[in-house]
Structures are given as C-alpha cells and as structure tokens.
A and B are shown apart, each in its own frame.
Chain A
Amino acid sequence: MAKSINITLNIWRQKDAKTKGHFETYALKDISTNASFLEMLDILNEQLVKEHKEPIAFDHDCREGICGMCSLYINGHPHGWETEITTCQLHMRKFKDGDVITIEPWRSRAFPVIRDLMVDRSAYDKIMQAGGFVSVNTGGVPDANAIAIPKPIADEAMDSASCIGCGACAAACKNGSAMLFVSAKVSQLALLPQGKAEAAARAKNMVAKMDELGFGNCTNTGACAAECPKGVSLTNIARLNREFLCAKLKD
C-alpha cells in the first residue's frame, strides 16, 4: 500500500555554535509513507543539494534504535510523540497529508548546538568518564554461576542498562536535568555485586560532574521518563538520590 503525502517542515538552521539560529520552512511533495523520518530528511537534503543549497546537518548512525545517535525535537517531543522509539524508528506513516512538522535540536545549556539540528552531547561522555564504570583487574573469567544474582535484580539492572545515552531526558526536562541518564548509569552498576564496591564514589563523582557541566536540578516532573525511548524508569532517580545521600552522610 504505497501512499504519499505532502508536508511542510519548520527546521532550525544554525551555522555554528556562535551564530544565532532561525527557523526555515521547506515544502516536501510526494513523500512515501513507507519512508522513515530520517529518510524523509535525506530526501530533503538531496533536494537541497540539487538546488545548490546547504544540506541540513542532523545526527544519525545505526538507524535501528540502539546507538543513541539520532536526536531531533519533533513537534515538541524528543524523538517524536510516539512512546519508546528513537527518531530513526519514527515513520512517515504516522503523519498525515498537509502536516506541518517543527524540528528543533536538543536545547540545553550542556548540549550546545554544533550546527543546525546537531548538538554536542560529549557532556554525557564526560559524566561516564567520571565514574560510570567498574575498575576491573582482568584475570581468568569466572564461571557464570560463581556470583549468584536474583533474577528480579538482574532484570532491574538490565532495564537501567537499556539507556542509550541519547540525551532525550535532558532535552525534555524543563530544568535541563540529566538525572535520568546519570541515575540509570549509576543503577545498572549499583544493583549488581560487581558494581557495589565502587558505588559510593561513583555516585558522588558522577553527580559532581553532572552539576559541573551545567545540567539543571531535578524537580521530579517525570517528563524524562515519559519521553525516554527506552522507557527508563523514575525509580532510578530515587535510587541515585539514595546512593548519593548515603555516600555523603557516611563521609
């Protein structure tokens, strides 16, 4: 059932981090509803190149919802309004003929725009470098059943670990807070025996880095979890608060 639609796009254009950005409007005709959202932008870019105009810069990589590279704030929602998908998993069949679609970059002080819809998300990498790991002395590989972990805890750790670090949480938060990301990264290790040894230092260092990089303070609105493409839960934030406060009170 091939069908095609005509749409109007309002896209944020910004030459570089220092230049002031603005919206530009593009009309696109005969877009197949089988196309993905990013393919639609590819079509627009091909059209712009043919017209000898500068194509629109946007982030993308695996295009199967796992790398965390694609971003885009689509009609007021990071990764679009559909729940638990990334932008690359959004398809044009979700749109109607004549729709006006506004596409903006993540807007957060800690994620400066590099160009157009592309932002610098290295702040998340810096938080990871501050403690989002287990210091491992590599030796012989232990047997899988050497450390018994109850299934519910293993599942919870796995759910936390499903965070792909795309930045939608900080982008959706009215406070520009990165708490959902940081709490997922702290939780995925704090829940497991291997991660417990460094849990206190990890929570303190990652939160200190998060504050230093200019992310906001969490006020528990829950927009992060509602917009998270991986459905990471708010209970991670409570766990991070607990880990951090206990660590500080022990000092």
Chain B
Amino acid sequence: MSFFLINSSIGRKLVMSISGMFLILFLTFHMCMNLVAIISPEGYNTVCEFLGANWYALVGTAILAGGFIIHILFGLLLSIENRRARGNDRYAVTARPKTVEWASQNMLALGIVILALLGLHLYHFWAKMQFVELQAMAGVEVDSNLLANATNGYGLIEQTFSSPVVVALYLVMLCALWFHISHGFWSSLQSMGLSNSVWLKRIQVISMVYATLLVAGFAVVVIFFFVKSIL
C-alpha cells in the first residue's frame, strides 16, 4: 500500500499536495510572527529567542526542511515526467484557454524563483541567528558581536529592510509566492479529492483570498521597515 505514494501518479500528487499544505501552514505562522515586529519590538525578540537554538525549535526546523525537500524533489520528479509525457515534438502553436490560470502552467518556474530568493532569505536571517547560535554551541569560534545579536531579530529586520535592493527582491519573491499559492492551495485540495461541482469554485476563491492575505501580511512588514528606515 505504502508504495502508491511513489509509484502512482495520484499518489505522487498526494505527497505534493500534503507537503504544499504543510508549507502553507508554516508560512501562515511565519507571517503572524512577522506582524509582531510591527506591534512590539520586545515581543518580536521574545519570539526570536523562543525559536533560537532550542531543541524544540531545532526539531521544528528539521521537519520544516524535510517538508521543503520533499516538496522540491517531488516537484522536480513530476515536472520531468510531465515533460517526457508531452512527447518529442512540441506544438508549433500553443494558446492558453481563458479559464486556465497562468500560474498553474508555470508552477515550476515560480517555485525556482521562490527557492532562489529563499536562499537569500536564509542568508539574511537564519545564517545570522539560529545558525550562529548552533555554531557557538558546537564550539566553533564565532564573532562575539554576531552572537550577541543572534536573538536581536528586530535589529536585523531594521538593518536588512533598509536596503531598497533587498526590499525589491523580497517583493519579487512575494509576488512569485502569491502566484504559486493562488494555484497551489486549491490544486492541493483538488488532488486530495476534496472538491466537487459546488466546492470547486469556492476553493478557487478561497485560494485567491488566502494567497492575498498571506502575501499582504509579509509585504506589510517589509514595506513598514523600509519606510521606517527612510523617514
């Protein structure tokens, strides 16, 4: 039974949809915690400390990384298979029917954009926070300045989002994320079979609304700190 998750097309899609939903859930928490930074600097740093190099935060990080890896590997596998299934000769003329979302046909490209900018995001924050603490715990020589700032997430946000280039790149990532999730959310439910003639339209609308709220929540923080830095 367990092999159908890998051997059958619908099984592989189930893995894709569950891992995708897991990542959306993570993004929801992430967005909510970001909003704390606007409300209270102390509150935000408390969250940062809580999610530093503590055992529960590390287990969470490992599970999260696993979710990303599964989603990316299955995405690549499915994309390669789908390209092969198209055959050797490509259509000379193609047209996208009106009802087909652009995002739905470009999920891989959107995913790659998100992944590339996620790398930048990890470099900006994770490498300067949890990673520094981990290095210190492992006995590696770490700059004392870095270590002192490892839980000062608020300061790091202020510093990072004062650069217009970084802000622009983050907004590009959020755009890609919006397109990816606006299709991914309902597509995930459809792949799990949780849709019918009444709910198909509803989950498509919910998908748009959810993607918009999620991305707006992230964008607000980025823009807030950029504006704060130039004022």
Asked if A and B are interacting partners, one says yes
Please give the residue numbers on chain A whose beta carbons come within 8 Å of chain B beta carbons, in ascending order. Answer: 10, 21, 23, 73, 75-77, 81, 102, 104, 107-113, 156, 172, 174-177, 207-208, 210-211, 214-223, 225-227, 233-235, 237-246, 248-249, 251
Please give the residue numbers on chain B whose beta carbons come within 8 Å of chain A beta carbons, in ascending order. Answer: 1, 4, 7-14, 78, 81-82, 84-101, 104-105, 107, 183, 186-187, 190-197, 200
Q: Are A77 and B105 in contact (CB under 8 A)?
A: no
Q: Are B82 and A238 in contact (CB under 8 A)?
A: no
Q: Which residues of the partner chain A approach B84 to less than 8 Å between Cβ atoms? A: 109, 214, 216
Q: Which residues of the partner chain A approach B11 to less than 8 Å between Cβ atoms? A: 245, 248
Q: Are A177 and B190 in contact (CB under 8 A)?
A: no
Q: Which residues of the partner chain A approach B95 to less than 8 Å between Cβ atoms? A: 75-77, 81
- The list of the 6 closest CB pairs from A to B, nearest first, reads A242-B193, A216-B85, A76-B95, A176-B85, A226-B97, A175-B82
Q: Are B81 and A102 in contact (CB under 8 A)?
A: no
Most buried by B among A104, A174, A214: A174
Q: Which residues of the partner chain B approach A215 to less than 8 Å between Cβ atoms? A: 9, 85
Bound together, the chains give a CA A234 to CA B187 distance in angstroms of 11
Nearest CB to that of A109 among chain B residues?
A: B87
Q: Which residues of the partner chain A approach B197 to less than 8 Å between Cβ atoms? A: 156, 233, 235
29 pairs from A and B in contact (CB 8 Å cutoff):
A10-B92, A76-B91, A76-B93, A76-B94, A77-B95, A102-B93, A104-B91, A108-B86, A175-B82, A211-B9, A216-B82, A217-B9, A218-B191, A219-B78, A219-B104, A219-B107, A220-B183, A220-B187, A220-B190, A220-B191, A221-B104, A222-B97, A223-B97, A233-B197, A237-B190, A238-B196, A239-B196, A240-B10, A244-B193
Interface residues of A, dominant DSSP = mixed
Looking at the assembled complex, report how far the CB atom of B206 sits from the nearest CB atom of chain A, in whole angstroms: 15
Q: Which residues of the partner chain B approach A227 to less than 8 Å between Cβ atoms? A: 97
Looking at the assembled complex, report how far the CB atom of B37 sits from the nearest CB atom of chain A, in whole angstroms: 35
Bound together, the chains give a CA A109 to CA B104 distance in angstroms of 21
Seed contacts A241-B190, A242-B193, A245-B193; 4 additional CB < 8 Å A-B pairs: A73-B93, A223-B105, A235-B196, A243-B193
Bound together, the chains give a CA A174 to CA B94 distance in angstroms of 10
